[in-house]
Amino acid sequence: MIRATTVFNDLVGRVADRGRSLMGTTAPRSVVQMCDTLLTGKGEATGLALARAIFDRYDGMDWAAKHDFFTMLRDRFGVDRERTETALRHWQEGDETALRDLHIASEPRSQELIRRLNRAPGGTRRLVAMRNDLLHLMGEDSALALLDADFRHLFGSWFNRGFLELQRIDWQTPANVLEKIIQYEAVHEISGWDDLRRRVAAPDRRLYAFFHPALGDDPLIFVEVALTAGIPGDIGAILAADRQMTDPARAQTAVFYSISNCQTGLRGISFGNFLIKQVVEELGREWPNLTTFVTLSPVPGLRKWALAHRDDLPTYLADTVTAAEDGKRPITLSDLTAHYMLTARHSRGGATDPVARFHLGNGARLERINRDADASANGQKASWGVMVNYLYDLDTIERNHEAYSGQGEIIAAPPVRRLLKTR
Amino acid sequence: MIRATTVFNDLVGRVADRGRSLMGTTAPRSVVQMCDTLLTGKGEATGLALARAIFDRYDGMDWAAKHDFFTMLRDRFGVDRERTETALRHWQEGDETALRDLHIASEPRSQELIRRLNRAPGGTRRLVAMRNDLLHLMGEDSALALLDADFRHLFGSWFNRGFLELQRIDWQTPANVLEKIIQYEAVHEISGWDDLRRRVAAPDRRLYAFFHPALGDDPLIFVEVALTAGIPGDIGAILAADRQMTDPARAQTAVFYSISNCQTGLRGISFGNFLIKQVVEELGREWPNLTTFVTLSPVPGLRKWALAHRDDLPTYLADTVTAAEDGKRPITLSDLTAHYMLTARHSRGGATDPVARFHLGNGARLERINRDADASANGQKASWGVMVNYLYDLDTIERNHEAYSGQGEIIAAPPVRRLLKTR
Amino acid sequence: MIRATTVFNDLVGRVADRGRSLMGTTAPRSVVQMCDTLLTGKGEATGLALARAIFDRYDGMDWAAKHDFFTMLRDRFGVDRERTETALRHWQEGDETALRDLHIASEPRSQELIRRLNRAPGGTRRLVAMRNDLLHLMGEDSALALLDADFRHLFGSWFNRGFLELQRIDWQTPANVLEKIIQYEAVHEISGWDDLRRRVAAPDRRLYAFFHPALGDDPLIFVEVALTAGIPGDIGAILAADRQMTDPARAQTAVFYSISNCQTGLRGISFGNFLIKQVVEELGREWPNLTTFVTLSPVPGLRKWALAHRDDLPTYLADTVTAAEDGKRPITLSDLTAHYMLTARHSRGGATDPVARFHLGNGARLERINRDADASANGQKASWGVMVNYLYDLDTIERNHEAYSGQGEIIAAPPVRRLLKTR
Amino acid sequence: MIRATTVFNDLVGRVADRGRSLMGTTAPRSVVQMCDTLLTGKGEATGLALARAIFDRYDGMDWAAKHDFFTMLRDRFGVDRERTETALRHWQEGDETALRDLHIASEPRSQELIRRLNRAPGGTRRLVAMRNDLLHLMGEDSALALLDADFRHLFGSWFNRGFLELQRIDWQTPANVLEKIIQYEAVHEISGWDDLRRRVAAPDRRLYAFFHPALGDDPLIFVEVALTAGIPGDIGAILAADRQMTDPARAQTAVFYSISNCQTGLRGISFGNFLIKQVVEELGREWPNLTTFVTLSPVPGLRKWALAHRDDLPTYLADTVTAAEDGKRPITLSDLTAHYMLTARHSRGGATDPVARFHLGNGARLERINRDADASANGQKASWGVMVNYLYDLDTIERNHEAYSGQGEIIAAPPVRRLLKTR
């Protein structure tokens, strides 16, 4: 159990150290100069050291300095105009193949800089942290989005699904990984180690995560699964400490009751779709008795939308909103939810509810609406306690996905559809 | 020792299978249609299946069909003209930020197609094999280079040094990995398992390799090292079955006597520089008694160059060539080699000898010239048995590298320099 | 991370199952018959199955039935009188070699029975649990000690130090192992996962355990270590959540502040001595700056002894006892403790304090007496808060051990010795 | 892949070193004195060191000195007469419980000495090597058997089946383990790495081994398996380099064609029975299509027996012997073999052929006799090329075993039985 895994990582560090000592002979340099040197590609030993030195310098910066740093990256390491114009000229002179050269010539130099930073010990991890900051700063300065496109492009390529590893997390998992799961759970908070144990070690509970080799034991995304008899309509029953166990060999339903992205620095790089489908396969193989794969999902946009559109709603639904705001949970909350899910549209097309957009986009079907499904403060505030189930049926996923993404059709089970027509 | 590592790989395969069964309902399609569908991004389950199906289709092709396939990829999945022209217009209308958009707009669609192929089970491995074929076909049809630029660009990003793992190969290494080492050794052939055992299991021998997670236990590159007392001038003494062992704790010299790239499909993606320097660090840490790190390298271009330039050489060197061709090995072979190494220049600058280009480019110094160093047929044919040592001194690597790549200066030890001035 | 370690364990189980199905054809048998059959050695397949069936039967017994079971084992599977008498006769007739035969002939048949039980899946673990019960029942029926001698003999042989593995427990350790550490800590309770994290993950804290292959990830014994500047005199300071960290590279002292045996079923099989000495070596190797290895140990017998012997003590010590009982902690508590440690003798020789017996027997020296060292209720009740340090100095351990075990000399540092002579 | 497994082993070594340095202060001692000291149990640190020092001293001995060493162990560390006589007296005075004490009292002191030697680094491995020598010397001096009984007793306990691990050996197995398989194969020699590869890496070949934790990656015993359509009658067809592969998913038969014990120092400790039955289970689970589990076994005693009993045989069998000696292979060789297998009896009961004794004792049945089954020189010499199949049928193993070990009945398939009655 004594581990040697970090031996070579240390070595990489030492290569960097050596490079640094070489660098030390020259006067202290600005981070701009360091980036220049890294990009123009002096020797590789210095390359590793330089990359690390830039990260270290960066880590010492305050927000204002980081903002300057990113702005510098964007402006100083932009596209090479001259090269671009040359390629452009060749193309316009009739060389069609120059169109591909144009792409190469117009690559922002910041991309190569990021690739070289990635060579440093722990480079990928530090770049993900760096982008996390960048996303934060973009909230104030949207012009940084130009630079973020580089990160996003490279991360999309590096975190290609072909490089991810699915792993089951259970009670034999090292504590440092489990601790991260507690921290990262974003949907239904894990209240401590006892709660965690219930979610990973009970025979009718599973937790699966995607990992990337360059991030080591830091997960990218994970999903929590409950094996149950039927489709559940209440998150409280799933999370309860004193619930009854289900024998997995007799369960018929696998419920995805929580999906959490772990790395905010990877925002916009999508893993959830792959994760759910692979876990469906894994569970189906292990427990052939499972016939139904559903989520138990929040409806985060329901209340906000309903309040905003109260005046446009049919009277009985407007009344439902009023009643719900008064603390009542009338049966027509289901009708209201169906109305929201099936008729409200996002400005860019598709469903307006963000969770719905994810699952419908994956090809799942809106299966059921559950009132009084979430007693938590969050659940009450977002949707008066309403939750829904999305069904993952591998045999219809493809068709659903096409109908949704092609014609914008929102696939829902007949009982949900019927709620639209009520009254 | 019973292994489960392939369980989830199988699963990915099964996800793909499921997708395939969905696909199966439609009529058989052409590989062109399949690529179209993959790129336009129907559902993800089908995505994995489609990618695999394209690989399978590809594997069944003969060379002519593969040539057609690559030509199709290049032409059909080229740059989106319209998008490019729009971005161009914006830029030319004065929007400087559109320059970055131009880059994005002009990305050949083949790049995204390759990324999606990579999602398939074993995708990276299959793409490397595919490029291997592509490089072969480029020998006949250089216009395929346009497509190869995509592979090269993506592989350069995916096989970034930050994603590589250094591992020592020894006698505890699984046989399937060792078998690959035997196959891949390109410089001094490994004649079988006994020879291999001498190279990895003797206390004064080491073998290190770089691996990439997506290629599993298939190495990218490896280097063989001998720990010796002094700098050796004879490869035969290093490879001999009955040589005397050196106590590693008393060795002063580490000799890199063979470096082999393993994946022809990764040609042009450079790892050797990183590998040598990291092994220098590793060995220096483990055996502080080591003071000298050198190669024992072939001079593959010597004879060919000398024969071609015999008439231009000083008389005593021209006579040396004649004598060497007559089977003699006069002392002036060293002078001739020094002349070749220090004065011959490549058309694109730098040394003309390909091995010299690699080591000098890394910042090594030409340390010594050895006659009668390689009795093998190859060695006699390429360089009349001459070999050289390049010295890796971490304290001067940076400076050497700059002098070489900046001013084209070929760094050599004084005794080698002096050979130039003789007579 | 998907594990296959249990695959073959399952198989062993299945071999046993198959055997069981064979057995099933005969009528249900008594556990006595089953033991008879196991010992007379029908086929091996049934052997595994029988062993498991006996364990299963045993697990279903109440205490009375277990008492009967053990009595049966002792009486029915005792020594073979006839064989013994034959061997005895040979010996008495002058065959000296028959003395060794006498040993073999007189082996209680229960020993071979236990060996055959051990072949069952998880047999060792179940035997350890069985002896745990046996020890419990010996409290009421000391005649079971005859049977316990078999368990103790076999466990002593099976848990030979040569079969144990030292492992470090840290924050990368699987949660199920860490959970056991929390449960097993017997000296200074671990209050939860946060407390555990402080003890295993802080840079100046270590935890080492011995494992045995047949018990898997269930530890046998573990020791907790704090790296500190000087010798500590207060357990509270070591356990405090908000304590100051020590840089391990600057620490001079390693403090063994808690040693816990984990398996009550292995009582009497001693591991602590080996564990401490190996950890001393390990720490000394990793941190050459460490110069002092001490314990911070309770004095569990102090108060009880002092109350029992108050009348025999010198007046100032008798007064000390009275004051201590009144809640005072006079400086003379140290004198009293020195008196107890250095003069009180166990009926079988050596120190009377059980913790002192362990450490002095290992060759450690009583180094220091600390008042107000343990504010816990336990510490107050057992020793009015007094704790002591024992010093492990590898260079004198051997001599100390001989002096203690040979002449019963209690080795203590001069300042402790001087406390005896005070007043 | 950089390994840390030896870190703590080194440590144990260092504990021993330290102990040795303590010992070094005294004058050099005889190995007798060292054993005395080890047994009387000075401090544990010295204990490890002493044990190792005794091993080192032993390793330097020639055969004569080893013989003296073993004789010394037997005589000096025999049974404690006095203790034995005391226990005997108690028993004879009527204390029945003293019978168990008698066993304890009469344990040869050599047993405890061996247990303490086992604590040294690599102690178990060195003890197995020591017994290997002892067995060799027993060939000349049978009186050493008294000492060997200690080794055998302790090894029997330590190598209890409950402590063994079954592992599959394949092409992912480390080369150092595979190399041992090549060395240990005792039945059908492995001619090199290519031959090995065929036996472990072909889809229709398997190799399983038992390992013990204290012997690391050195196997105890292994069995080679071929998956075939029907029951094979020719070992050459199984070993041929150019044989046709069988799809394991369509195979109906698993053939155990070679079983090799690896550790001569463990002679008399039986593992083969457990190994075969567990592999039957493992294969049956993995390939439910397998219906038949047989061996293809040599008949090592046939020719020798037939030549010795030629005069007692029926004429047609005596003629068969003559013909066979003349290089012919008449059909009646099968009759002769049946006669040998079914009628020849060992002096201690059961079959006389050693391989038959093993398999019949396991409960297997003699299934078929194959002429011209082994063209090797060995096979011709031992049995004129005859081999046999033993059938392992889990459903009858128990019954067969009882009939064989109880009534000495040799279980054979009807066609084999019928050969007896022919003519």
Q: What is the pTM of this model?
A: 0.90
The model's confidence at residue D42, banded by pLDDT at 50, 70 and 90, is: low
The model's confidence at residue C1, banded by pLDDT at 50, 70 and 90, is: very low
Q: For residues D382 and D395, what is the distance between their CA atoms, to the nearest angstrom?
A: 33
Neighbours of chain B (3+ CB pairs under 8 A): A, C, D
Report yes or no: C3 at the B interface, CB cutoff 8 Å. Answer: yes
pLDDT digits (tens, 9 = 90+) for A322-365: 999 999 999 999 999 999 999 999 988 899 999 999 999 889 99
pLDDT at B24: 46
Q: For residue B373, report the phi and psi dihedrals to the nearest 5 degrees.
A: -100, -15
pLDDT digits (tens, 9 = 90+) for C43-59: 555 678 889 999 999 99
Least confident stretch, A38-52, C89-103, D218-232? A38-52
pLDDT at A114 over 60: yes
- Inter-chain touch A163–B213, beta carbons under 8 Å: yes
What's the token pair of residue C32?
Answer: 């006595």
Print burial letters for D235-257: b (CB count within 10 Å at least 16), e (below 16).
Answer: bbebbeeeeeebebeebebbbbb
What's the token pair of residue C25?
Answer: 């054809």
pLDDT digits (tens, 9 = 90+) for C215-263: 999 999 999 999 999 999 999 999 999 999 999 999 999 999 999 999 9
pLDDT at B211: 98
The model's confidence at residue C9, banded by pLDDT at 50, 70 and 90, is: very low
pLDDT at D421: 76
The model's confidence at residue A402, banded by pLDDT at 50, 70 and 90, is: confident
Residue with tokens 């060197």: B317
The residues that bridge with C222 in the sheet, in sequence order, are: C209, C260
Q: What angle do CA A61, A66, A69 make, to 5 degrees?
A: 115
- Inter-chain touch C2–B2, beta carbons under 8 Å: no
Mean pLDDT, rounded, of chain B: 90
Q: Mean pLDDT over residues A146-175, rounded? A: 96
pLDDT at C10: 44
Note the residue count of chain B: 423
Distance from B222 to chain A by nearest Cα, in Å?
A: 16
Q: Mean pLDDT over residues D246-257, rounded? A: 97
> Exposed, middle or buried by CB within 10 Å (0-12, 13-18, 19+), for B187?
middle
Helix, strand, coil percentages for chain C (3-state, nearest 5): 55, 10, 35
Q: What angle do CA C364, C365, C371 make, to 5 degrees?
A: 120
Print burial letters for B207-241: b (CB count within 10 Å at least 16), e (below 16).
Answer: bbbbbbebbbebbbbbbbbbbbeebbbbbbebbee
pLDDT at C46: 62
Chain A, nearest residue to D6 by Cα: A2
The model's confidence at residue D136, banded by pLDDT at 50, 70 and 90, is: very high
pLDDT at B17: 53
Q: What 3-state class would DSSP assign to B373?
A: coil
CATH architecture of A297-421: 3-Layer(aba) Sandwich (3.40)
More confident position, B401 or D339: D339
Q: Mean pLDDT over residues D238-250, rounded? A: 94
pLDDT digits (tens, 9 = 90+) for C267-284: 999 899 899 989 999 999
pLDDT at B5 over 80: no
CATH architecture of B2-158: Up-down Bundle (1.20)
Report yes or no: B272 at the A interface, CB cutoff 8 Å. Answer: no
- Given a contact cutoff of 8 angstroms between Cβ atoms, the answer to whether D209 and D167 are in contact is yes
Report yes or no: B193 at the A interface, CB cutoff 8 Å. Answer: no
The model's confidence at residue C22, banded by pLDDT at 50, 70 and 90, is: very low
Chain D, nearest residue to A6 by Cα: D2
The model's confidence at residue A44, banded by pLDDT at 50, 70 and 90, is: low
Q: Where are the domains of chain C?
A: 2-158, 162-295, 297-421
pLDDT digits (tens, 9 = 90+) for C338-388: 999 999 999 888 999 999 999 998 899 999 999 999 999 999 999 999 999
pLDDT at D422 over 80: no
Q: For residues A361 and D263, what is the distance between their CA atoms, to the nearest angstrom?
A: 62
Distance from B283 to chain D by nearest Cα, in Å?
A: 13
Three-class DSSP labels, D81-149: HHHHHHHHHHHHCCCCCHHHHHHHHCCCHHHHHHHHHCCCCCHHHHHHHHHHHHHHHHCCCHHHHHHHH
pLDDT at B11: 41
Task: Out of C2, C4, C5, name the one closest to residue B8 (CB).
Answer: C2
Q: Mean pLDDT over residues B187-216, rounded? A: 96
What's the token pair of residue D419?
Answer: 């050969």
Q: Mean pLDDT over residues A16-26, rounded? A: 48
List Cβ neighbours of A335 (8 Å cut-off, separation of 6 or more).
A316, A317, A320, A419, A420, A422, A423
What's the token pair of residue D335?
Answer: 């009759």
Is B297-421 in the same CATH topology as B162-295? Answer: yes
More confident position, A398 or D106: D106
Which of A228-232, A346-350, C5-9 holds the top average pLDDT? A228-232
> Exposed, middle or buried by CB within 10 Å (0-12, 13-18, 19+), for D3?
exposed
Q: For residues D93 and D84, what is the distance between their CA atoms, to the nearest angstrom?
A: 14
Q: Which of C48, C54, C61, C57 is nearest to C19 (CA)?
A: C48
- Given a contact cutoff of 8 angstroms between Cβ atoms, the answer to whether A414 and A420 are in contact is no
Chain C, nearest residue to A1 by Cα: C167
What's the token pair of residue A128?
Answer: 């993900």
Q: Which of C336, C334, C381, C389 is nearest to C360 (CA)?
A: C389
What's the token pair of residue D21?
Answer: 């340095």
Q: What 3-state class would DSSP assign to D376?
A: coil
pLDDT at D6 over 60: no
The one-letter amino acid code at D68 reads: D
Chain CA centroid to CA B348, Å: 20
pLDDT at C422: 55
The one-letter amino acid code at A344 reads: A
Q: For residues B159 and B128, what is the distance between their CA atoms, to the nearest angstrom?
A: 11
What's the token pair of residue D370?
Answer: 């194959």
The one-letter amino acid code at A45 reads: A
pLDDT at B236 over 70: yes
List Cβ neighbours of B234 (8 Å cut-off, separation of 6 or more).
B370, B372, B373, B374, B387
pLDDT at B7 over 80: no
Q: Mean pLDDT over residues D262-279, rounded? A: 93
Q: Are strands B365-370 and A221-228 parallel, antiparallel or unpaired?
A: unpaired
pLDDT at D18: 52
Provide the sign of the torsion angle of the four alpha carbons B384, B389, B390, B396, taken in this order.
Answer: negative
Q: What 3-state class would DSSP assign to A67?
A: helix
The model's confidence at residue C2, banded by pLDDT at 50, 70 and 90, is: very low
Mean pLDDT, rounded, of chain D: 90
Q: Mean pLDDT over residues C388-416, rounded? A: 91
Q: For residues A109 and A74, what is the distance between their CA atoms, to the nearest angstrom?
A: 9
Distance from C375 to chain D by nearest Cα, in Å?
A: 34
Q: For residues C282 and D11, what is the distance between their CA atoms, to the nearest angstrom?
A: 7
Q: For residues C170 and C179, what is the distance between their CA atoms, to the nearest angstrom?
A: 12
What's the token pair of residue D204?
Answer: 């229709």
pLDDT at B387 over 80: yes
Neighbours of chain A (3+ CB pairs under 8 A): B, C, D
Q: What is the DSSP letter of A206?
A: E
Show the beta-strand stretches assigned E in C55-175: 165-168
Chain CA centroid to CA D293, Å: 21
Residue with tokens 């492995």: D190
pLDDT at B125: 97
Tell me the count of B-D CB pairs closer than 8 A.
Answer: 43
Please list every residue in chain C whose beta carbon sits closer than 8 Å to the beta carbon of residue A173.
1, 174-175
Q: Mean pLDDT over residues A50-66, rounded? A: 96
Could you tell me the CA-to-CA distances from A49 to A12, A20, A22, A214, A243 in Å, in that order?
9, 5, 9, 18, 55
The model's confidence at residue A299, banded by pLDDT at 50, 70 and 90, is: very high
Report yes or no: C8 at the D interface, CB cutoff 8 Å. Answer: yes
Chain A, nearest residue to D4 by Cα: A4
Residue with tokens 């050796």: B232
Q: For residues C179 and C332, what is the distance between their CA atoms, to the nearest angstrom?
A: 41
What's the token pair of residue B59?
Answer: 């594997």
pLDDT at B3 over 50: no
Chain D, nearest residue to C401 by Cα: D43
The model's confidence at residue C4, banded by pLDDT at 50, 70 and 90, is: very low
Quote the ipTM score: 0.88
pLDDT at A117 over 90: yes
Q: Mean pLDDT over residues D282-292, rounded? A: 95
What is the CATH number assigned to the segment(s) D162-295?
3.40.630.180
- Given a contact cutoff of 8 angstroms between Cβ atoms, the answer to whether B271 and B306 are in contact is no
Q: Mean pLDDT over residues D14-42, rounded? A: 67
- Inter-chain touch D7–A2, beta carbons under 8 Å: yes
What's the token pair of residue D50?
Answer: 């002493």
In this structure, how many other beta carbons lie within 10 angstroms of the beta carbon of residue C293?
23
Provide the sign of the torsion angle of the four alpha carbons D406, D410, D415, D419, taken in this order.
Answer: negative
Please list every residue in chain C whose beta carbon sits closer than 8 Å to the beta carbon of residue B2.
4-5, 7-8
pLDDT at C17: 54
Q: For residues D50 and D117, what is the distance between their CA atoms, to the nearest angstrom?
A: 8
The one-letter amino acid code at A347 reads: S
The model's confidence at residue C402, banded by pLDDT at 50, 70 and 90, is: confident
Q: For residues D124 and D212, what is the distance between their CA atoms, to the nearest angstrom?
A: 10
pLDDT at B12 over 90: no
Q: Which of A2, A282, A247, A256 is nearest to A167 (CA)?
A: A282
Neighbours of chain D (3+ CB pairs under 8 A): A, B, C
pLDDT at D423: 54
* C142 noted as active-site residue: no
pLDDT at C5: 34
pLDDT at A40: 83
Q: Mean pLDDT over residues A96-115, rounded? A: 92
Could you tell me the CA-to-CA distances from A337 to A304, A321, A380, A407 in Å, in that order?
12, 11, 14, 22
